[in-house]
Amino acid sequence: MSFVSEFRTSITKAIILASIIFIVGCEQSVAPAHKKNSQLLIYCAEGSPITLNPQTSTSGTTIDAASATIYNQLIDYQPGTTELRPSLATEWTIDETGTKYRFKLRQGVEFHSNQYFSPNREFNADDVIFSINRQKQPSHPLHALYGANYPYFKGQGLGTLIRNIKKIDDYQVEIELTRPESPFLSILATPFLPIQSKEYSDFLMQKEQLELFDKNPIGTGPFQYVAYETDSYLRFKRFDQHFAYISPIKNLVYAITPDPAMRFARFSAGECDMMRYPLPVHIKLANQDDSIKSIQTSALNVAYWAFNTEKEPFNNVKVRQALSLAINRKAIIRSVYDNQAIQAEGPLGPSSWAYDNELTSTQYNPEKAKQLLLEAGYSSGFELDIWAMPVQRAYNPNARKMAEMIQQDLLEIGIQSNIVSYQWGTFLRRVRLGHHQTVLLGWNADNGDPNNFLTPLLSCLASQNRSNYARWCDRNFDQLILQARQETSPEKRKDYYIQAQKLFAEAKPWLPIAHTPNNMLIQNEIKGVTLSPLGTLSFEGVHFAQESTDIKKLPDSQKNKQEQL
Amino acid sequence: MHLLHIENLSVNFKTDHGLVTAVDKFKFKIDPGQVIGVIGESGSGKSVMALAIADLLSPSAIAQADLFTLEGQDLNRMSPFERKRLITDNISIIFQDPTSSLNPALTIGYQLDETVRSHGGGNSRQCRDRSLELLASVGIQDAKRRYKEYPHQLSGGLNQRVMIAMALACKPKLLIADEPTTSLDVTVQSQILDLLMQLNQDLNMALMLITHDFSILSETSEKVHVMYSGQVVESAKTYKLLTEPYHPYTKALLDSVPHFGMHYKKGRRLYNLPGTTPPMRHLPVGCNLGPRCPYASRQCVEMPQLKSLHGRQVRCHFPLIEEAKQESK
Amino acid sequence: MLLSLFRILITALVSFLGLTILTFGISQQATTPLHDYQSTHWFPQYFEYLGYLLTANWGNSDLSGNDVFTELLKHFPASIELLSFSLILAIFVGLFFGIMAAKNRGGWLDKGLMSATLVGYSMPVFWWGLLLVLFFSLYLGISPVAGRIDYAYYIQPITRFMLIDTLISNHNYGSAAFFNALNHLVLPAVTLSWIPMAIMARMTRSSLVNILKFEYIRTARSKGLPENRIIWIHALRNAMQSLLTIGGLQISILMTGLIIAEYIFAWPGVGSWLLSSVSRQDYPSIQAGILALSSLVILFNLMLEIMANYLDPRKRRPLS
Amino acid sequence: MNYAKVNGLSMRLKHFKAKPSWLMFSKNNGALFGSIILAAAVLLAIIGPWIAPFDPAQQFSSRSFHPPVWNQGGNFTHFLGTDDLGRDLLSRLLHGARLSLFLAGFIVLIAAGTGVLIGAIAALLPPLLRSILMRIMDLLLSLPSLLLAIAVVAIIGPGLSNAVYAVILVLIPQFVKLTQNSISQELCKDYCIAAKLDGANSIRLLTKHVGPNIVPAVIVQLTFSFSTALLDIAALGFLGLGAQPPLAEWGTMLAESRSYIQYAPWTMALPGLAIFLTILSINLVGDGLRDALDPQLNQ
């Protein structure tokens, strides 16, 4: 019976205890002091990376998580630009056929170590060959690890483009291509081709623990992996032996907060220092608040309204022109993008080096649109479907709303329209098969090369149930971009691309709508953040207001000046 | 000095329809070791009276008495806390339905123990011993086993014994037994009554026996109060009351008891009073028994007062003295 | 007692089997079959599926290819921690207020508390959570917005119960880490325990008020027991059974609240994992999440029934 | 026992109950208060589209985040302010009221109809089949409604109509259980046994005698299910699994406004308040009805 007699006292005690805990728990936490001491930077991330290996995923979350921290590529983009710079390769030469690339590798680069493994040797040519062959050769022991596929590698056709890769000596490799491909270096600089440690793989293979390879990743990057809790956090610590610089950030945490509202709430409560993918309203709020600021860089992306040129009446160029003239894009940019984007005139934005400055803007002109429709023989108008992508992307925060606005505009020239939407996977599949009449979609570049826009979005090959959703195929256009791809001189390439853009502007397979800049919110005491036009994240140069900047180990002038590029 | 002396105890209930009187000017005296009965139909206010004495009324009830002394101490002048203390130390009460009067979720032993402990029973071992002793004293054989059992495992009679044992825990000077046998089997009834009488003798414990059954009082109590609609209608020595009721209601009650054996007459109808006890919130004008009384006359529109008559008290304009005499002739 | 225990267990088992049929249905939606089934017909496949479930082989995620069961185990402790803290909060605070109201029945405290609980149990959890965040985190700034612990503390996951890990793992933050974790727990727990707390208070009050009318309470009073003892032991002990039955309904409400609170507070538990799996259409994970949360409900109900069985001596055989 | 007399008894009981129920209900202040709010909500839902000042989808892009009238800078054009896209909140709330209340009503009616039918059939089934059916219902009942709805939505995909199906499915078991229980109980009562002895067939028994006696319980359940339906639809909308923007559904509006809780708190407060008040009024009415109609609690 003692249970009962003690019952009462224990309840009272528990209640008192609970209230004490509640009160104490509500007290201001002691964390900030700790935070300063540990030189901790918290980055509010938008999702849980599915994997920490950028080879196996094209998801931005994975790229942000792994490429800014764990890995380095052979070549790199200068932070904040699309300019190439040496990374693990210090210099490179391309032979006159344009198919043989020889890379000289950096010496004295160390790999991370973790509780399973500590490296016995420094980075060398074996690691490069290992990392590329992992993606290229199905027979590679790691190729089929976790049933991985290599979407970027395959998507770019690198498997066939790269004929072979061979070791010249410990610090030299040669990659031979099947054909000249000028964007190849840009591709190598993307985060999708990180260099991993062959020694680690051999070690794990020996211990038969190969599954740890991507889960406890080892790389050469500025931060090394500590822990990952799905949906919660991703934790890194500084890698003091990094070849290029030592960041003042000792500890780096990705606080995973998928919901943008909650992410902003956390950010504004000071729970994180940097925040990606703010909504337009958050930028507005940040501008009102003195303790936080928003930074912005123009980005290589485009949102567009594509017409299915295989279908009536969109096979008529006059109809496409009429539709393009009928849309008030200024209003769209104001309401959908909250004026945070610039109006697009072609597939390439002004931040691309091949941008055609002389491209004439398509002016909003419903009268002319009606005129053109009349000429095309559709004076009484027609009905069309607008497929609006169901998800939110940086380049299009609200496709549905955009569709509603287009719907209104089309009514003015006498065209009735319906908005169609499916679940994202279904939507993409059907659009790929060409079920749509018109579709609102967009594209985000993954490397700085113009080819990255023109080939996947507008080439004939891509019109065959692939990512050319206008299903537009113009042999001249194709010829131009092929020539540009095989040409190594930047000036000549630019010429080809400008011609191609002119062809596009005449044919109007889509109406380009907007180029959205990349945004990031940061706390005021965080300095030196640079945003990449490609949307990739980098912590290089990031420091706290009261601390010094990176300790640079490499001179800035160590840019590779090469004759061919 | 009386053990308990109450003058003009009234109990009123606050209800949606205003104050309702449940007990009206109840007078009561009891001496140590005395057995006094209270009889009345259900709803006559006898249980409320008992609860008022034991200070167990619900908060919606207001109890007042002109005089309320227990062992010579005036309870009216005490704080509620002191009063409660004095009452629980001196008065115990047992109820009609023993099984529902015991907490079903606790063992007999636990309930006894806590009673003993709350009356200064010492440590748990001592409490336990005392509890077992108490159980034995009320005639429960295998006390040790019963100690561990729950009320639902015991029969009604045993439960009532447990209740009595619990009531004895504080060594009360007065035990109020509110219909202690009503819900029990007939054979058990007499056992319980025997037990109560025995305890009354052994411990010199006064007993207030509340019942609706004359047959119980006839053997046990010295004096009987008859209650009707919250009022005492007649008080007398038991045998006098049984043989010679003055009040029409007492007579009616007595006549409704079936007779057995030599008293049994074939064809004799049991007497029953027409109508039912009036609800407390609309009592008739004047005498409460008025509408049901076969002897009622115009005078009964006035409330009769309790008056002494031949050494007993009766509340009637027309006590049945003559009639009783005539009958006896 | 054994017999009724057996009956309770069988009921729970049947519920669990029914549940697996549902999750089997969900798992069939996956793009690639969850397991290598030997048979082609769905009926024998179901039994194979059961076998896989029992051997902790719950399939691999459609997206990440990770073992779903391992993922689940990673998320489960966070949910349990939040759930149990909220449950304790709901029970004790609810009981406390219910008793306060019952003691003062009819009084202003009673009326005030009961109106408050009425408001409490009509509160939509998702709105309530937002209001709390707005007020305590963003306006007053005394409570964190999200997460389980401040990231300045690095606590190595051992049990994955943050409160326990802060106590047992090796770190040099002292008790600050524990209180920080507690601080993070308070707001989600209040959000999610709000409705159960209100219901608990109401039910405690009504069953106490009912029980206080019983005869054995009068007996207890006649024995001169203090009022507190009467309420806490005599009345509450008997009220416990009806409260336990109500408790069974609470877990349902708590579970609903859990999913929403985890979503609002970015709490890395099964609920938020389930929701993100739904939006990713990752059927193996959805299947696992639903199976886990529902099994928890079944298990909880099972425990309650056993407890009710134990608490009611009328159902229990003597332990001789 | 005489059949007619039995019938008379049940009739009399009903008659006896009806009047005090209404009296009890009308004397219950909370219930009265609840019914007034609920009636107002229903009225607004019906006439809302006519009194709404604007089209709920109309965007005044120059007037986004216009504060409500009691805030600084607010005016009567947009009485309750506007949201992120400059849509009039009052109009959206009124349209939302219609959507939410009508949907909840529709869901509850369908669920109750189906549930009562299944329950009645179950009561007539042979014991084995019945217990199997009831086990299934028990399982569905023991699972949290939102979890079940999420499971359904996971299979058939998000969207308002799918959310509606899910919530209907979630609510049916309650009615099945209730009906089956009450019928079994009623069938054990003396008057039904008597009627059976008199040769009344099961269907007749159910419709004539048992039916009227379970109506109060079903009505009480109906009100509580109504609040569950409303809440679940809103919760699914909030979690992004129910109604999709730009539909003016309260839960969805709340989810959309989450991003602006610091900037424009009213966009979050108002839809929530609407849900809260409606649920509160339904609960008050439901409590009142239960107290008035449930004979066990009638004492």
pLDDT tens per residue, range B281-307: 677 777 777 777 777 777 777 788 877
Chain B, 134 to 153: residues with Cβ < 8 Å from chain C are 148-150, 152-153
**Chain D contact present for A266, CB below 8 A:** no
As for the ipTM of the complex, it is 0.78
Question: Counting beta carbons within 10 angstroms of the beta carbon of residue A417, is it exposed (0 to 12), middle (13 to 18) or buried (19 or more)?
Answer: buried
A468-479 mean pLDDT:
90
Which chain D residue lies closest to A333 (C-alpha atoms)? Answer: D61
* Mean pLDDT comparison of A54-58, A544-548, D103-107, highest-scoring range: D103-107
Identify the band that residue A561 occupies on the pLDDT scale cut at 50, 70 and 90.
Answer: very low
D176-184 mean pLDDT:
83
**Does A262 contact D258 at a Cβ distance shorter than 8 Å?**
yes
Give A268→chain C minimum CA distance, Å: 8
The better pLDDT of the pair A224, D28 is held by: A224
Write the residue in D84, D157, D263 that is nearest to A285 by C-beta: D263
Residue C315 has pLDDT above 80, yes or no: no
Question: What is the distance between the alpha carbons of residues C99 and C89, in angstroms, rounded to a whole number?
Answer: 15
* Mean pLDDT comparison of A530-534, B57-61, B214-218, C190-194, highest-scoring range: C190-194
- Bridge partners of A255, per DSSP, are A44, A233
- Give the per-residue pLDDT at A170: 92
Say if pTM beats, i.e. exceeds, 0.90. no
pLDDT digits (tens, 9 = 90+) for A125-140: 999 999 999 999 888 8
- Give the per-residue pLDDT at A222: 93
**Chain C contact present for A432, CB below 8 A:** no
Write the residue in C11, C127, C274 that is nearest to D275 by C-beta: C127
Interface probe for C, chosen from B96, B103, B115 (most Cβ of C below 10 Å), is B103
D192-217 mean pLDDT:
72
- Give the per-residue pLDDT at A260: 80
A413-431 mean pLDDT:
79
The better pLDDT of the pair A171, C177 is held by: A171
- Give the per-residue pLDDT at C317: 47
**Does B113 contact A1 at a Cβ distance shorter than 8 Å?**
yes
D3-11 mean pLDDT:
35
Residues of A in contact with B123 (CB under 8 A): none
Residue C144 has pLDDT above 60, yes or no: yes
Question: Counting beta carbons within 10 angstroms of the beta carbon of residue A377, is it exposed (0 to 12), middle (13 to 18) or buried (19 or more)?
Answer: exposed
The better pLDDT of the pair C139, D6 is held by: C139
Question: Counting beta carbons within 10 angstroms of the beta carbon of residue C290, is it exposed (0 to 12), middle (13 to 18) or buried (19 or more)?
Answer: buried
B abuts D (3+ Cβ pairs < 8 Å): no
Boundaries of domain holding D224: 96-246+266-298
Question: What is the distance between the alpha carbons of residues A398 and A379, in angstroms, rounded to a whole number?
Answer: 31
- Give the per-residue pLDDT at A438: 94
- Give the per-residue pLDDT at A555: 56
A174-196 mean pLDDT:
90
Write the residue in B56, B105, B150 that is nearest to C218 by C-beta: B56
Q: Give domain status of residue D29, yes or no.
A: no
| Number of other residues whose CB lies within 10 A of the CB of residue B308 | 9
Which chain C residue lies closest to A229 (C-alpha atoms)? Answer: C74
Give D17→chain A minimum CA distance, Å: 43
Residues of A in contact with B113 (CB under 8 A): 1
**Does A40 contact C151 at a Cβ distance shorter than 8 Å?**
yes
Residue D16 has pLDDT above 50, yes or no: no
- Give the per-residue pLDDT at B149: 86
- Give the per-residue pLDDT at A459: 87
**Chain B contact present for C36, CB below 8 A:** no
Residue B270 has pLDDT above 70, yes or no: no
Residue A423 has pLDDT above 70, yes or no: no
- Give the per-residue pLDDT at C189: 92
- Give the per-residue pLDDT at B153: 85
**Does C215 contact B101 at a Cβ distance shorter than 8 Å?**
yes
Residue B317 has pLDDT above 70, yes or no: yes
CB distance A396 to A429 below 8 Å: no
Of A375-379, A496-500, B216-220, least confident by mean pLDDT is: B216-220
Chain B, 84 to 143: residues with Cβ < 8 Å from chain A are 106-107, 109-110, 113
* Cα Rg of chain C (Å, integer): 23
* Mean pLDDT comparison of A546-550, D12-16, D252-256, highest-scoring range: D252-256
**Chain D contact present for A404, CB below 8 A:** yes
Provide CATH code, domain B4-221: 3.40.50.300
Identify the band that residue D2 occupies on the pLDDT scale cut at 50, 70 and 90.
Answer: very low
Residue A560 has pLDDT above 50, yes or no: no
The better pLDDT of the pair A209, B279 is held by: A209
How many contacts (CB atoms, under 8 Å) link A and D? Answer: 35
The better pLDDT of the pair A85, B212 is held by: A85
| Number of other residues whose CB lies within 10 A of the CB of residue B321 | 14
pLDDT digits (tens, 9 = 90+) for A352-397: 888 888 877 888 999 999 999 998 888 887 889 999 887 777 788 7
**Chain A contact present for D57, CB below 8 A:** yes
Q: Which of A78, A82, A49 is nearest to A66 (CA)?
A: A49
**Chain A contact present for D265, CB below 8 A:** no
Identify the band that residue B326 occupies on the pLDDT scale cut at 50, 70 and 90.
Answer: low
Residues of B in contact with C223 (CB under 8 A): 88, 114-115, 118, 166, 169-170
Residues of C in contact with B88 (CB under 8 A): 222-224
Question: What is the distance between the alpha carbons of residues A552 and A218, in angstroms, rounded to a whole number?
Answer: 22
pLDDT digits (tens, 9 = 90+) for C212-247: 888 888 888 888 788 888 888 888 888 887 788 777
- Give the per-residue pLDDT at D111: 93
**Chain B contact present for C234, CB below 8 A:** yes
**Does C19 contact D139 at a Cβ distance shorter than 8 Å?**
yes
A238-257 mean pLDDT:
89
* Mean pLDDT comparison of A207-211, A437-441, B43-47, D71-75, highest-scoring range: A437-441
Tokens of A126: 């074996």
**Does B105 contact C240 at a Cβ distance shorter than 8 Å?**
yes
Coil, helix or strand at residue A44? strand
Chain A, 4 to 63: residues with Cβ < 8 Å from chain B are 4
- Provide the pairing of β-strand B91-94 with B174-178: parallel
Interface probe for D, chosen from A257, A263, A281, A333 (most Cβ of D below 10 Å), is A281
User: In chain D, how many domains are there?
Assistant: 1
| Contacts for A65 with CB less than 8 Å, ≥ 6 apart | A45, A49, A52, A234, A254
Question: What is the distance between the alpha carbons of residues D299 and C106, in angstroms, rounded to a whole number?
Answer: 17
- Give the per-residue pLDDT at D277: 92
- Give the per-residue pLDDT at A43: 93
Q: Give domain status of residue D17, yes or no.
A: no
**Does D275 contact C278 at a Cβ distance shorter than 8 Å?**
no
Identify the band that residue D8 occupies on the pLDDT scale cut at 50, 70 and 90.
Answer: very low
Q: For C2-311, give the CATH class.
A: mainly alpha
Residue A35 has pLDDT above 70, yes or no: no
Chain mean position to CA A164: 28
CB distance D249 to D101 below 8 Å: no
Write the residue in D154, D254, D261 that is nearest to C126 by C-beta: D254
The Cα-based distances of C63 to A148, B74, C250, D35 in angstroms read: 10, 85, 34, 50
pLDDT digits (tens, 9 = 90+) for A80-109: 888 889 999 999 998 888 889 999 999 999
B65-90 mean pLDDT:
83
CB distance B231 to B219 below 8 Å: no
Which chain B residue lies closest to A2 (C-alpha atoms)? Answer: B110
Residue C287 has pLDDT above 80, yes or no: yes
Residue D203, domain CATH: 1.10.3720.10
C80-100 mean pLDDT:
90
**Summary mean pLDDT of chain B:** 80
Residues of A in contact with D65 (CB under 8 A): 281
The better pLDDT of the pair B226, A145 is held by: B226
Residue A510 has pLDDT above 60, yes or no: yes
C abuts D (3+ Cβ pairs < 8 Å): yes
Give B92→chain C minimum CA distance, Å: 7
CA diameter of chain C: 74
- Give the per-residue pLDDT at B147: 86
A22-34 mean pLDDT:
48
**Chain B contact present for A1, CB below 8 A:** yes
Residues of B in contact with C208 (CB under 8 A): none
Identify the band that residue A174 occupies on the pLDDT scale cut at 50, 70 and 90.
Answer: very high
- Give the per-residue pLDDT at D136: 83
A110-135 mean pLDDT:
92
Chain mean position to CA C305: 15
Residue A333 has pLDDT above 80, yes or no: yes
Tokens of B137: 């004293």
Q: Give domain status of residue D143, yes or no.
A: yes
**Does B95 contact C312 at a Cβ distance shorter than 8 Å?**
no
Q: Which of C128, C169, C132 is nearest to C149 (CA)?
A: C169
Identify the band that residue D276 occupies on the pLDDT scale cut at 50, 70 and 90.
Answer: very high
| Contacts for A403 with CB less than 8 Å, ≥ 6 apart | A386, A388, A419, A440
